[in-house]
Amino acid sequence: MAIYESEHTKFMREWMEKHPQEVVEQKEGRALWWDKPQDLETQRRNRDSKVPVKAYYYDINNH
């Protein structure tokens, strides 16, 4: 039984095989935007400082 593989997946697999240097750039980009060190104290302060949002922001009778 054959396993389906999309055209995009095939393209990306072949492209990454032809351009191995992109793996390093991909990891650097991920580290820049996503992989951030986690600080529990900062997370707690952010969670505690949230202000509840009103149901409908533009309702003049709900202030």
Using one digit for the tens of pLDDT, what is the confidence trace for 11-63? 999 999 999 999 999 999 888 888 888 899 999 999 999 988 777 777 777 65
Token pair for 56:
């409908």
The reply to whether 17 falls in a domain is yes
Backbone angles phi, psi at 8, to 5 degrees: -65, -45
The reply to whether 24 falls in a domain is yes
Residue-level pLDDT at 2: 73
The reply to whether 57 falls in a domain is no
The reply to whether 29 falls in a domain is yes
The reply to whether 25 falls in a domain is yes
The reply to whether 18 falls in a domain is yes
- Structurally, the chain folds into a number of domains equal to 1
Residue-level pLDDT at 1: 63
Residue-level pLDDT at 40: 93
Domain hosting residue 14, numbered range = 8-33
